[in-house]
Amino acid sequence: MTAAGARTIGIIMNGVTGRMGTSQHLTRSILAIMRQGGVPIDGGQTIMPDPVLVGRNAVKLQRLCAASGVTKWTTDLNAALADPANRIYFDAQTTGRRCADVARAIAAGKHVYCEKPTALTLNDAMDLYHRAVQAGVKHGVVQDKLWLPGLVKLKAVADSGFFGRVFAVRGEFGYWVFEGDAAPAQRPSWNYRKEDGGGIILDMFAHWRYVLDNLFGRVKAVSATAATHIARRWDEEGRPYECTADDAAYAVFELEGGIVAQFNSSWVTRVRRDDLLTIQADGSKGSAVAGLRKCFIQPLAATPRPVWNPDVDNPIDFRAGWSEVPSHGEHANAFKAQWELFLRHVAAGTPFPWDLLEGAKGVQLAELGLESWRRRTWLDVPPLA
């Protein structure tokens, strides 16, 4: 039963049988929103999601419905798109399948929300954006890291003027993904096949684009190199396969205002830092280091004065001079937070700037990063419109 004052919105959820689709989008976002009674909007109303799960494997869909309590599923995307009760199409498929199905949803008049990267090429990503604008549908792209507690705190620190003039940003992302023989891999095998849309540049540069653009300044140029450090892995059925996509990338980005950002992205590194992702920003008045949930700052007045002497143990405890930025209230799951904003955007017309054009910017940076690697040169990142 839907509570009085609740507006039900049908959501086609395509590709949520995958790891991220199940855990972050279905379980921790849509089902969590349903359990809390929907998303409140002005006028005392609430928006209640009504999901229908779509995929190619009926057995997986039935299992997911049984585990989640969702009652609707189908392998017929056209039928789901034809149902007027389904107003939103969401796509969490593999990258190579996303563009065509998002285009179908736009043609059917559905509002679209999708994972990134939105396409394999910039031309296709921009085509989706123009189709959505011409169709007059609302559209959004998942940019989840903007709602991570650590990055929310980092953004607040930056907005307060704490840094003075920011001149450098350094990001370290990654962990060891097992090859799949002796221990199960933590990522799907298609991630390591270029022909299936895999590769860490295509995957992660879409993230770094919106993080840098929103926290520090527009990305103006890129110089990148990458590698396939592990050439052979084992897939979900235990079969060996050759890796054709990059599993590590090392990039330098030039941002507006003369800021230099360096990002290492790797699925073949062992972690000895505070988190799987850490971002350090250095400025004239202070520095900050953010992980997924925490952020630490060190102002100029608390900065130690080290002296280089490799012949003795360093007497300075470099961690002791940093202060943790406190949390102000609870932080919702990052994916859920953006889902709620998109649902309000669809139902009440509230602003939602993270649209298909923003998604295309991530594809643009990945495409230029791959080209920079191929040509071994710096490339400018022109504005998109």
- Write the burial class of residue 136 (CB in 10 Å: 0-12 exposed, 13-18 middle, 19+ buried): exposed
- The yes-or-no verdict on residue 353 having pLDDT over 80 is yes
Read off the pTM. 0.95
Distance CA 317, CA 55 (A): 53
- The yes-or-no verdict on residue 136 having pLDDT over 70 is yes
Sketch out the chain's domains with CATH numbers: 6-144+334-355 (3.40.50.720), 145-332+364-379 (3.30.360.10)
Cα dist. 61→16, 27, 66, 67, 70 in Å?
Answer: 9, 14, 9, 10, 10
**Max intra-chain CA distance, the chain:** 73
- The yes-or-no verdict on residue 231 having pLDDT over 80 is yes
- The yes-or-no verdict on residue 2 having pLDDT over 70 is no
Q: Give the CA dihedral 13, 18, 23, 26, nearest 10 degrees.
A: 10
Distance CA 63, CA 60 (A): 5
Q: For position 3, what pLDDT does the model report?
A: 55
Note the pLDDT tens digit of each residue in 19-29: 999 999 999 99
Average pLDDT over residues 356-366: 98
Contact 261, 212 (CB under 8 A): yes
Distance CA 118, CA 147 (A): 19
Q: For position 329, what pLDDT does the model report?
A: 83
Q: Token pair for residue 320?
A: 């002791």
Q: For position 1, what pLDDT does the model report?
A: 40
Across all residues in the chain, what is the average pLDDT? 96
- The yes-or-no verdict on residue 141 having pLDDT over 60 is yes
Note the pLDDT tens digit of each residue in 321-345: 999 999 988 889 999 999 999 999 9
- The yes-or-no verdict on residue 352 having pLDDT over 60 is yes
Percent of the chain at pLDDT > 70 equals: 99
- The yes-or-no verdict on residue 192 having pLDDT over 60 is yes
Percent of the chain at pLDDT > 90 equals: 96
